[in-house]
Every structure is written in C-alpha cells, then in structure tokens.
C-alpha cells in the first residue's frame, strides 16, 4: 500500500496538479509596540463607548475597555497573511475575546473566544465583522458559537495566549489560532471576493486583553516555471526540485510533505533550502 501511495503521489507531482499551492512569503509589515501607535489609527464601536482608550504599556498593546480597535494606516494587497500575538489575563466574554478583520465593503473577520465560563474550549470562527455604528446585538459581528460552518475548537490551556493568523488568497480566507504550547485549530477556507487592497483592523471586546507582534506577510505562489523546471525527485515523501520560479527568479528548493495541508498530499516549502538556480 505504501508503494501505491508513493506512485500515485508521484503522478500528481509530475503533472503539477498541486504545485500552484506552494507559497513563498515576504514580511512586509511588523510592529512590536515598543513605543507608540504611529502605524495605526484607533476607533471604537460608537454605540458602546465615547472614545477609544487603547495604549501601549510594557511593550504591548493594552485594552482598558471593550470594543475598541486599531486599524493599519497602510492598505495591503492580497495574497497576504496577518499574524497577531495576543493574550487574555482576566475575565471572559460570551461572544468573543478578539477579532481580526480585513476591511472592505462587506468585510470579513476572524473571531477568537478563549475559555468561557465553565466551558473547556478555545474556539474560533470566521464571518461578518463588528459594525462600528450599528447598535444592539446585531452590530457585534459574528460570534464563535454562530452556526456558519466555519468554526473550530480545542481544549483550552492556561495561560490564555497564543497567535492568530488570517490568510487571504485566491479569493478565499481562513483563520487559525495556535496556543502557547503549539496546538493549532483553523477554520475551513471561506470565499471572499472583495477586490482591492485591505486595511487590517484588530478588536478586543473587554479589558485585560493584550496584543503584540503584528506581522503581515505577502504570499507569492511558487510557479511551475519553464519546461526546464519540470523534473522532480521524490525521497522519503519529500521533493527536491532543480528549479522553481518565485517572483520571476529561478531557485533550487526542497518541499517537505505535510499531511495537515488540505487533507494531505501537499507539500510545504522549506525556506532554508532556497538557492539561486544556475
């Protein structure tokens, strides 16, 4: 059975049915909040608060009140991935703790709720963002317990901290959370075809919530390249390629098999293996 699986995999590689999903990434924005909020504007949900009260303290962003947000001054063009380190030290909110939003006409947001009340789960969801001006519960955006089909959960661990990631590419979005011990949950991909560049908006819903180390990556598909880049060697379920094209430049590269990607049969680029091809 193992030989049959490798043989089937080799056919898929040689016909390049999977390689367009391989990506390279470039860090295009980062902020560790060591000084001020010069990269951001701030705001609040108007029906709940008079003015935002977010500030930098001890090298991280602090929320003293709920439903304030920060938003990048700069817009970013997909495909991109946004990563945010965050923590909740006290309290819990039934609907959500944090929300990360790609702004737009319709918008879309990833939502994280850390352990709530007697539950033992950390939960994420993907859906409509918080409305700045709309009042009442209808303006609070998607909750993690909404039955939209884009929810994932895992057993909570303490302290309540980790990293969320929001990825937007090929007119699709997904959201994930990795806790501080390295366990990860992620939503399925959701269609999102809002054109144009996006600003990034990050919300917290109550006090004792903190954000640090925001990173935004530009994602580039690793092209199949020319006919001279077509040879593939399969060794121990990994791929050594003599040539791939990234942003018009030829590289030698290695891809490591990762069964967690798209249900298996996909490979992840090993960035340390990249070398300029002759």
Calpha distance 261→277 (Å, rounded): 27
Residue that has been written with the tokens 């098999």 in this structure: 257
Pairing status of strand 121-127 against strand 40-44:
unpaired
**Predicted confidence (pLDDT) per residue in 137-187, tens digit:** 556 777 776 666 688 999 999 999 999 999 998 888 999 999 999 999 999
Calpha distance 59→36 (Å, rounded): 9
Calpha distance 27→10 (Å, rounded): 32
Q: Is the preceding omega at residue 79 within 30 degrees of 0, hence cis?
A: yes
Calpha distance 162→86 (Å, rounded): 6
Partners of 121 in beta bridges: 155
Greatest mean pLDDT range, 6-10, 66-70, 208-212, 224-228: 208-212
Partners of 100 in beta bridges: 110, 202
**Predicted confidence (pLDDT) per residue in 209-238, tens digit:** 999 999 999 987 543 333 344 344 545 566
Of 111, 121, 86, nearest in space to 173 by CA: 111
Which one has a higher pLDDT value, 51 or 86? 86
Q: What is the mean pLDDT of residues 85-106?
A: 87
Task: Check if the beta carbon of residue 190 is closer than 8 Å to that of residue 219.
Answer: no
Q: Is the pLDDT score of 15 beyond 70?
A: no
Residue that has been written with the tokens 């951001």 in this structure: 40
Calpha distance 100→109 (Å, rounded): 5
Which one has a higher pLDDT value, 235 or 115? 115
**Predicted confidence (pLDDT) per residue in 20-40, tens digit:** 344 578 999 999 999 889 999
């Amino acid at each position: 059975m193992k030989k049959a699986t490798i043989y089937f995999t080799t056919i898929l590689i040689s016909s390049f049915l999977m390689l367009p999903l391989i990506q390279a990434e470039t860090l295009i924005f980062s902020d560790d909040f060591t000084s001020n909020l010069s990269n951001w504007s701030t705001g609040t949900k108007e029906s709940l608060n008079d003015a935002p009260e977010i500030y930098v303290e001890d090298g991280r962003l602090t929320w003293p009140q709920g439903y304030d947000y920060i938003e990048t001054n700069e817009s970013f063009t997909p495909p991109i991935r946004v990563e945010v380190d965050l923590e909740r030290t006290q309290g819990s909110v039934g609907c959500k703790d944090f929300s990360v939003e790609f702004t737009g006409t319709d918008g879309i947001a990833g939502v994280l709720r850390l352990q709530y009340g007697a539950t033992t789960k950390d939960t994420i969801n993907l859906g409509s963002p918080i409305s700045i001006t709309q009042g009442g519960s209808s303006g609070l955006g998607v909750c993690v317990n909404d039955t939209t089909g884009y929810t994932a959960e895992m057993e909570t661990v303490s302290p309540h901290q980790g990293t969320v990631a929001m990825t937007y590419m090929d007119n699709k979005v997904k959201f994930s959370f990795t806790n501080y011990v390295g366990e990860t949950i992620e939503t399925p991909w959701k269609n999102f075809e809002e054109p144009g560049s996006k600003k990034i908006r990050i919300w917290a819903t109550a006090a004792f919530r903190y954000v640090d180390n925001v990173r935004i990556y530009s994602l580039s598909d690793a092209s199949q390249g020319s006919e001279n880049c077509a040879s593939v060697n399969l060794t121990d379920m990994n791929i050594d390629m003599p040539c791939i094209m990234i942003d018009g430049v030829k590289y030698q590269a290695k891809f490591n098999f990762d069964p967690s990607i798209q249900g298996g049969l996909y490979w992840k680029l090993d960035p340390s293996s990249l070398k300029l091809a002759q």
